[in-house]
């Protein structure tokens, strides 16, 4: 056993070093900073100046009383839930469609869905900036004006009358468009690995297309569904780049377009540059992420899926 342990360590070591250098150490550093009053990167004076739990207490009061922060929390919840749903279920639906249609069309179709992911962030942001722009020159507005659906241009993401739902719809839509291709690619390649005979056998057994999907395709990729769900959950909790662009260019309302991750980023590097406070929020974010990740694995019964190996290799 000791020998196997050592062997395992040998193979895991390179990865462990990377994890320690780029994850554990920054985490410890963040946790450290969260107990200091660090602002404006005055590292020399403030990094060893402990204020105890002050940042956490502030965070608590903010969460309790600050209406803007409430919006951030709500937005986070809505954004993560709905975008996750689109990313997993939408990805699955797209993968099934592309799997069932003719290979050449399927390839073009998959490439099309990959475009948002391959487009540089700034270009992508600009696209939506023009699309949802509040003036009459905005793509959506000018289109709807021409069609006569609306009489006046609509400020899609910022008009208080439509908040918060319009802003939420936009951020979920834009992020879903980027994220859905990930699930699609993973699920599609998983489908491609299912032996053709299984599908034929199901057909011979009398399964219609819908029953093949339900009884063969989806159950056979359940592993991949768990993986994509957890992966997307964690990345949605922590990602902020697309939201940053949307908020910064005022495509959407500032608070109903900001999730906790973006809030941490803005607090640390952009608005007030209060790194100590941001670090405290980041630590909370990591804790939430870890718990949610574990809960998801639990709900999806991950442990039951790991079957014991058939040999003692």
Partner 1 sequence: MVEVRLEGVTKRFGRVTAVNNVNLTFGDGEFTALLGPSGSGKSTILYLVAGIYKPSKGRIYFGDRDVTDLMPNERNIGLVFQNYALYPHMTVYDNIAFPLKLRKTPPEVIRDKVLEVAKFLHIHELLDRYPAQLSGGQQQRVALARALVKEPEVLLLDEPLSNLDALLRIKIRSELKRIQKELGVTAIYVTHDQSEALAMADKVVVINRGVIQQEAPPDTIYNEPRNVFVASFIGSPPANIFPATMDYTEEPCINLPGGTRHCVEDEYAGVLWRMKPSKVIVGFRPEHAEIVENPVDGRPVIVGEVYTVEPLGRENIVTVASEDIHLKVITPPEVRPEAGELVYVAVEKGKLMLFDPQTEVNLRYIAREWSQGG
Structure tokens at 232: 């997307």
In 3D space, the residue among 241, 248, 238 whose CA is nearest the CA of residue 271 turns out to be 248
Nearer to partner 1, 140 or 202 (CB): 202
Residue closer to partner 1, measured from CB, 22 or 223: 223
- Here the tokens at position 85 are 């749903």
Residues 198-227 that bind partner 1 (CB under 8 A): 198, 200-207, 211, 215-216, 219-220, 222
Least Cβ distance, residue 200 to partner 1 (angstroms): 6
Residue 31, interface with partner 1 (CB under 8 A)? Answer: no
CA distance 303 to 311: 19
Using rule CB under 8 A, residue 300 touches partner 1: no
Could you tell me the smallest distance in angstroms from the CB atom of residue 290 to partner 1?
A: 30
d(CA 230, CA 297): 7
Stretch that binds partner 1, among 76-84, 112-120, 192-200, 277-285 (CB under 8 A): 192-200
How many residues lie near partner 1 (CB under 8 A)? 19
Q: How far is the CB of 206 from partner 1 (least distance, A)?
A: 4
Directed axis angle between helix 222-238 and helix 67-85, to 10°?
160
Handedness of CA 113, 158, 238, 296 (dihedral sign): negative
Q: How far is the CB of 201 from partner 1 (least distance, A)?
A: 4
Angle at 174 between CA 224 and CA 289, to 5 degrees: 50
Site for partner 1 in 97-136 (CB under 8 A): none
Beta carbon nearer to partner 1, 48 or 103:
103
Q: Which is nearer to partner 1, 201 or 294 (CB)?
A: 201
Q: Give the burial string for 136-173 (b: 16+ CB within 10 Å, else e).
A: eebebbeeebeeeeeeebbbbbbeeeebbebbbbbbbe
Note whether 83 and 175 are within 8 A (CB).
yes
Residue with smaller CB distance to partner 1, 21 or 198: 198
Looking at beta carbons only, is 118 or 200 nearer to partner 1? 200
User: Would you count residue 307 as binding partner 1 (CB under 8 A)?
Assistant: yes
Residues that bind partner 1 (CB under 8 A): 195, 197-198, 200-207, 211, 215-216, 219-220, 222, 307, 310
């Amino acid at each position: 056993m000791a020998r196997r342990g050592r062997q395992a360590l040998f193979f895991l070591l390179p990865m462990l070093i990377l994890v320690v250098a780029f994850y554990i150490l920054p985490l410890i550093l963040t946790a450290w900073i969260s107990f200091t009053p660090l602002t404006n990167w005055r590292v020399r004076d403030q990094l060893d100046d402990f204020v105890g739990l002050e940042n956490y207490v502030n965070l608590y009061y903010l969460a309790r009383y600050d209406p803007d922060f409430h919006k951030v929390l709500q937005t986070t919840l809505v954004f993560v839930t709905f975008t996750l749903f689109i990313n997993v279920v939408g990805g699955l639906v797209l993968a099934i469609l592309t799997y069932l249609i003719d290979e050449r069309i399927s390839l073009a179709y998959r490439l099309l869905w990959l475009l948002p992911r391959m487009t540089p962030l700034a270009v992508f942001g600009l696209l939506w900036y023009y699309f949802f722009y509040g003036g009459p020159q905005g793509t959506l507005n000018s289109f709807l004006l021409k069609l006569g659906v609306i009489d006046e241009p609509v400020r899609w993401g910022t008009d208080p009358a439509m908040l918060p739902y319009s802003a939420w719809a936009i951020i979920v839509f834009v992020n879903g468009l980027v994220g859905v291709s990930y699930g699609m690619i993973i699920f599609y390649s998983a489908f491609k690995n299912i032996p053709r005979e299984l599908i034929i056998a199901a057909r011979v057994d009398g399964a219609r297309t819908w029953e093949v999907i339900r009884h063969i395709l989806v159950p056979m990729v359940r592993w991949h569904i768990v993986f994509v769900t957890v992966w997307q959950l964690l990345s949605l909790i922590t990602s902020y780049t697309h939201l940053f662009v949307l908020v910064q260019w005022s495509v959407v309302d500032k608070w109903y377009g900001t999730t906790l991750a973006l809030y941490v980023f803005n607090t640390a590097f952009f608005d007030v540059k209060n790194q100590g406070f941001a670090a405290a929020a980041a630590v909370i974010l990591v804790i939430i992420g870890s718990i949610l990740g574990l809960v998801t694995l639990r709900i999806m019964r991950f442990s039951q899926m790991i079957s014991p190996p058939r040999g003692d290799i």
